[in-house]
Structure 1
Amino acid sequence: MAVINLQKGQKIDLTKGNPGLTKIMVGLGWDEAAKSRSGGFLSSLLGGKPPEIDCDASALMLDANDKLTRKDRLIYFGNLQSVEKSVKHSGDNLTGGGDGDDEQIHVDLAMVPAEIHKIVFVVNIYDCVKRRQDFGHIANAFIRVVNSGNGQELCRFNLTEDYSGKTSLIVAEVYRHSGEWKFAALGEATRDASLSEIIRRYQ
């Protein structure tokens, strides 16, 4: 089965077309744009390059009203799994270096509590204001969904827009619909300067 490459705004069925699918891995990846590492004249005077760009992926487990009602429903580098262990974070990648996924979030769809209707995946740049960094310094960002049972990549969404000046991305969501699970490619960029600011959208 060929991987489905999604465009912004597209949605696909996950479980309806894949009988028995219960566990997925959501991989998020990005690279630092080459131009962002050229420190320039000021940097050379100071004796070094700009700090590494540290992107953080997180998952928000929302109720039927798109609300984050409990702190433990936020899965990120400071809380690596939900209470019932249906959503687990692989841990923080501080630089985005290397090929493939930079951070992974594993979801056991069968274990997601009934009151959770949507899992939203977001990425923000750590300490972006102080470091004067934004997603214009990031290249090759993507999110993909893999069937954890057989390792098959089900779909991929490459974020190809120019996100210069934006500091957070609401990348995609996995949500319930008529008893099945679906995936939606969002690619919505914001100027939220921290994960705390993103969370306010869902409170």
Structure 2
Amino acid sequence: MMSIRLPRGGNHSLTGAGLSDEAQCFIGLGWALKENSPSFEIDASAFILGENGQVASDSGFIFYNRPCDGMTGFITLQSDDLLPDGDEAMEHALDRQSFMLDFSKVPADVSRIAICLTIHDAGPRAQTFGMADQVHVRLVNPETGRETMRFHAENEFSAETALILAEIYRRGAEWKFRAVGQGASGGLAALARSFGVVLPEMVRPTPQPRQVISELGCGEDQGQDHDQGSESQPEESSEGLSKNRRRSTGAIIEKQAAEVGNHLRLLLPQIMSALAAGINESGSRLILDKMLQHVLGYTIEEIKTEQRIQGRCADYVLSPGGVDIAVIEAKRIGSPLKQKQIFQATSYAAYGGIRWAILTNVVVWQLYKVTTTDKVEPHLVFTVDLTKGISNETALNLTLISRMGIVRKTPLERMWLMTRALSTESLITAILHEDVLSRIRRVIAQENGIQLDLTAIKAAVERDILKLE
């Protein structure tokens, strides 16, 4: 099913677009700035509204300082802006911020969820959405990685500093998505007040020396995600909202990847010795246990072994915080890995509601996304081979399945979506899309002075480029 593109004001049911109203939904937001525009600080926010169009309490206001609702945890602001300005092609294609929405947890009194973008400190910086070349909001099925609906606006705004891009709302027994595209001035503060949020007056905190902050236990050593020099100092905003200056998700993952790499280098000589000695499966499990604990950061209590559910068995189940997140199928060190070996783990995962499965022989690690849309199916996300050394990519991939990475969820989900988007099937579908074929026809006409039929171009691409039978 192709993604449904909605015009401003258009709406469509979620179930009609292939999304279950009892499952999760990924909401991606993105934008690209016009050429020579200054760098923007754009924030995503969501407002959880009742039938009166207002929030029931301030916990219904989801933004950078409150990334999860205070009700059932059904909506989470997942990611920082990980994409730098300047790469025009990437800016037009990728999400800059995102939400994860779990429809099974939405309280019954929630009628509507407004999805918004605002420019931080737009007034002092003389910035508006008129400087944006395009903005988009899209819905993605996280099970399959497929985009189901999109609202894409190009050069449709001028002096606005806040946008209500879309809303997800109840209509009878089903959920629907509406492309709103409504702009306003006043930024986030004005937008929040319009939805009934009560904003406290700003009180600028008294600056404290770094030494005092450290002695009070508020510094980075306590595990907070703030940048050095701004651990507890919010930036005063002209909008009346203090914005805590936290490190981006990318910076946090990068730091963790360095630590994973260092721990792995300490264990790697033992792994290579065990590989050379050809130790048995029992000995392999001992090495694997060390890998899970000392490199990936799981506690003994979070590593469950020989688990069974409805006749299915799992060698390991990773359960950080008591929540089963990933199943591991473990083989003897160095033994060949084949995709069919992941079947036992994926079967267990499907029955246990788990969406990640790992196949490993200690030196090679393969991560699979388990989908259950039509049938139980594993999709390879990445492979790590420790016999090739410890590269930055190796450390990063292992970080994504470490305790810290797998609990954080967003980077791993983002990698899955990118993997799915760059799959052969997805690329073929994109290449054969009518918009792409129309662009090819225009280029051919400009370069060769001849107008070709889209059907002829499609047939040539399928036959000569894609080699489709």
Q: TM-score range by the shorter chain?
A: 0.7 to 0.9
Aligned partner of residue 130 in structure 2, secondary structure: helix
TM-score between both structures, scaled by the size of structure 2: 0.39
Q: 1:87-127: per-residue Cα shift (whole Å, max 9, x none)?
A: 00013328763630000011001101111110000111000
Find the counterpart in structure 2 of residue 24 from structure 1.
25
Greater than 6 Å deviation, 4+ residue runs: none
Comparing both chains, which one has the higher relative contact order based on Cα–Cα distances under 8 Å and sequence gaps of 6 or more? 1
Report which of the two has the higher share of helix. Answer: 2
1:101 corresponds in structure 2 to 95
For the pair 1:85 / 2:79, whether they are aligned, the reply is no
Q: CA deviation at 1:188?
A: 0.5
Aligned with 2:36: secondary structure? helix
Which stretch shifts more, 82-91 or 176-185? 82-91
Structure 2 match to 1:13: 13
Q: Could you tell me whether the CA contact under 8 Å between 1:53 and 1:94 is conserved in 2?
A: no
List per-residue Cα deviations over 1:115-144 (Å, max 9, x = no partner). 111000011100000111001111221010
Instruction: Answer yes or no: is the 8 Å Cα contact 1:55–1:95 preserved in 2.
Output: no
AA partner of residue 141 (structure 2)? N
Matches within 5 A, 1:175-194: 175-192=169-186, 194=187
- In structure 1, the partner of 2:387 is none
CA contact (8 A) 1:64 1:116 kept: yes
SS state of the match for residue 36, structure 1?
coil
* Larger strand percent: 1
Question: Which of 147, 150, 157 is the aligned partner of 2:151?
Answer: 157
TM-score, length of structure 1 as denominator length? 0.87
SS in 2 for 1:198: helix
Is contact 2:129-2:161 (8 Å) kept?
A: yes
What's the counterpart of residue 54 of structure 1? 41
Identify unmatched segments of 5+ residues in structure 2: 197-469
Deviations 1:58-80 (A, max 9, x none): 11000111111211111111111
CA distance in 1, matches of 2:82, 2:123: 17
CA RMSD between the two structures: 1.7
Structure 1 gaps of 5+ residues are: 38-51
Distance in 2, Cα, partners of 1:36 & 1:16: 39
- Match for 1:69 among 30, 35, 56? 56
Alpha carbons 1:58, 1:123 under 8 Å: kept: yes
The count of residues paired between Structure 1 and Structure 2 equals 188
**Alpha-carbon distance change, 70 to 12 in structure 1, aligned in 2, over 3 angstroms:** same
Give the % identical residues. Answer: 29
Shift of 1:170: 0.7
In the alignment, is the contact (CA less than 8 A) between 1:54 and 1:95 conserved in 2?
A: no
Q: Distance in 1 between matches of 2:131 and 2:83?
A: 12
- In structure 2, the residue matched to 1:196 is 189
Matches for 1:129-168 after TM superposition, within 5 Å = 129-168=123-162
SS at structure 1 position matched to 2:144 = coil
